[in-house]
Amino acid sequence: MAQEVTENRNENRIDYGIILSVMLLALIGMAAIYMAVVHDSSASSSPTRAMIMQAVWYVIGGIGIFFVMQFDAEQLWRVAPILYGLGIFLLIAVLFLYSRSVAASTGAKSWFSLGPITFQPSEVMKPAYILMLGRVVTQHNTQYSHSTANDWRLIGTMFLWTLPVLILMLLQHDFGTMLVFLAIFAGVVLVSGTTWKIIGPIAGGAVVIGGGAIVMVTQTWGRHILEKVGFQAYQFSRIDSWMNPSGATSGDSYQLWQSMKAIGSGQLTGKGFNNLKVTVPVRESDMIFSTIGEAFGFIGCAVVILLYMLLIYQMIRVTFDTKNEFYAYICTGVIMMILFHVFENIGMNIGLLPLTGIPLPFISQGGSFLLADMLCVGMVLSMRFHHQSYMFSGDSEGFE
C-alpha cells in the first residue's frame, strides 16, 4: 500500500497536460514542416531530412526537459547568475564569430555556424534571462516592502539586468528578438507587485513612443533619425509591406501577400494534407502558420490557437498550485515569451503585424529556438515536480 501511494505521488508530480500539449504541437509542426519543404523549390534540404533534423531537436529538447526538471527552486536560484553570465558571453562572442552567410541573407549578426548547423545564442539567453529576472524580483521583495520608491528601485534594478541584453540585440540587428525580451520584462513587472501608479504612466509612455516610431517610419526625416539609432533598410521595407501589403506584391510585400493569400485560400476546412498551391518564401520557419492555414483552414488554425491557450492555462494552474513566488516569476516569463511569439508570428502571417522573423513555438523549424522552448517548459514542469518536497521562499540567506 505504501509503495502504491508513493507511485501515485510521483505521478502527480509530473504535469502530463503540459507534456501532451507540447507533443500535439510538435506533431502539427512535423506535418507542417514536411508540407512546407515539399512545396518549397528553394529549400536547402529534402522533406525527410528536414523532419529527421526537427525530430532530433525534439529528442534533444526532451532530454533537456528531463534534465531541467531535476533542478529544484534552490538550485535554479543558484545557477541563474551563472547562466545569465554565460548568455551574455555568447551574445558578445557572436558579434565577432557570426555566420557571414546568414548575416548576408537576414541582416542579423546573431548566428553561429558550424558546417551545416547554425545556432542562435539569444535563444539560450531567454531561459537564463527569465531565471535572472525571477531571482532579482524575489530577492527585492524579500528585502523591501512595497512603496512607490521601492517599486521604482525594483524596476531600475530589473532594467539594469535587461539593458546589456537589449544593447547586444541592437548590435546584432535582431530587433524581433529584442522585442521578446521586452515582452518578458513587461510581464514580470506586471506581476511583481509594482503599483499601478508606476505601471500606468510607463505603459502610456510606451504607447506614445510606439506610436511616435510608427509616425517617424512614414516620414523621411523620421527614417533618418531611426537609421542613426540602428534601424536597417530591410526593417523599413518590412514596415512598408505591412502598411501596404498589396503595394509591391512582386517585391518587398511578396512574402506577406503570399502568406495572406495562402491562409485565405484554405477557407474553413483547408485544402487537405500536402495539397498546397500557393508559394510562400521561408514557409518552414517564420511563415509556418500559412502552411497550417492553407492545408487545414480556419478549423486547423483554431485548433492550434486553442492548444496554445490550453498550454498557457496549464502553466498558470501549476503556478497557483505551487504557491511559490520565485516559480511564479519564472512561469510568467515563460508565458510572456510564448504569448509574444504566438501573437507576433500569427499576426505577421495574416498581415496584422509587420514581419519580424519571429518563429512559432514548438512548430516552426529551428533547433536552437525549439531547444529554448523546451528548456523553458522544463523549468515550468520542475515547479510541480519539486513543490511537494519543500517550499522555497527566495530568501538568499544560507544559499550563498
**Phi and psi of 9, rounded to 5°?**
-65, -40
In a domain, 400, yes or no: no
**What is the rounded average pLDDT of the residues 142-167?**
92
pLDDT at 251: 63
Other Cβ atoms less than 10 A from the Cβ of 279: the count is: 15
pLDDT at 5: 42
Instruction: Say if residue 13's pLDDT is above 80.
Output: no
pLDDT at 248: 62
Tell me which of 6 and 15 has the higher pLDDT.
15
**What is the rounded average pLDDT of the residues 288-301?**
94
In a domain, 323, yes or no: yes
Return the C-alpha cell found at 232.
536597417
pLDDT at 390: 45
8 A C-beta contact, residue 263 and residue 301: yes
**What is the rounded average pLDDT of the residues 246-269?**
82
Q: Per the structure, how many domains does the chain have?
A: 1
**What is the rounded average pLDDT of the residues 59-63?**
93
Instruction: Say if residue 221's pLDDT is above 90.
Output: no
d(Cα 273, Cα 126) in Å, to the nearest integer?
34
Residues belonging to the chain: 400
User: 3-state SS string over the chain?
Assistant: CHHHHHHHHHHHCCCHHHHHHHHHHHHHHHHHHHHHHHCCCCCCCCHHHHHHHHHHHHHHHHHHHHHHHCCCHHHHHHHHHHHHHHHHHHHHHHHHHCCHHHHHHHCCCCCEEECCEEECHHHHHHHHHHHHHHHHHHHHHHHCCCCHHHHHHHHHHHHHHHHHHHHHHHHCCCHHHHHHHHHHHHHHHHHCCCCHHHHHHHHHHHHHHHHHHHHHHCCHHHHHHHHHCCCCHHHHHHHHHHHCCCCCCCCCCHHHHHHHHHHHHHCCCCCCCCCCCCCCCCCCCCCHHHHHHHHHHHHHHHHHHHHHHHHHHHHHHHHHHHCCHHHHHHHHHHHHHHHHHHHHHHHHHCCCCCCCCCCCCCCCCCHHHHHHHHHHHHHHHHHHHHHCCCCCCCCCCCCC
How does residue 400 score in pLDDT terms, banded at 50, 70 and 90? Answer: very low
What percentage of residues in the chain have a pLDDT greater than 90?
47
How does residue 59 score in pLDDT terms, banded at 50, 70 and 90? Answer: very high
In a domain, 233, yes or no: yes
Other Cβ atoms less than 10 A from the Cβ of 145: the count is: 7
pLDDT at 4: 47
Instruction: Say if residue 62's pLDDT is above 80.
Output: yes
Range of the domain at 359: 2-387
Task: List beta partners, residue 117.
Answer: 114
pLDDT at 252: 67
- Mean per-residue pLDDT of the chain: 85
In a domain, 304, yes or no: yes
In a domain, 279, yes or no: yes
What percentage of residues in the chain have a pLDDT greater than 70?
88
C-alpha torsion 140→141→142→147, nearest 10: 100
Tell me which of 93 and 220 has the higher pLDDT.
93
In a domain, 162, yes or no: yes
Q: 34-43, 80-89, 112-121, 274-283 — which one is most confidently predicted on average? A: 80-89
Instruction: Say if residue 298's pLDDT is above 90.
Output: yes
Closest CA to 136 of 200, 183, 189, 197: 189
8 A C-beta contact, residue 109 and residue 156: no
Task: Please name the amino acid found at residue 307.
Answer: L
8 A C-beta contact, residue 359 and residue 286: yes
pLDDT at 351: 86
Lowest mean pLDDT among 244-248, 264-268, 272-276, 338-342: 244-248
Return the C-alpha cell found at 341.
511569439
Task: Please name the amino acid found at residue 359.
Answer: P
d(Cα 357, Cα 162) in Å, to the nearest integer?
21
In a domain, 398, yes or no: no
pLDDT at 371: 92
pLDDT at 356: 82
Tell me which of 153 and 43 has the higher pLDDT.
153
How does residue 211 score in pLDDT terms, banded at 50, 70 and 90? Answer: confident
pLDDT at 398: 37
pLDDT at 249: 63
* Parallel, antiparallel or unpaired: strands 117-119 and 112-114: antiparallel
Lowest mean pLDDT among 74-83, 132-141, 168-177, 300-309: 168-177
**What is the rounded average pLDDT of the residues 265-276?**
91
Instruction: Say if residue 395's pLDDT is above 60.
Output: no
Q: 4-8, 135-139, 236-240 — which one is most confidently predicted on average? A: 135-139
In a domain, 284, yes or no: yes
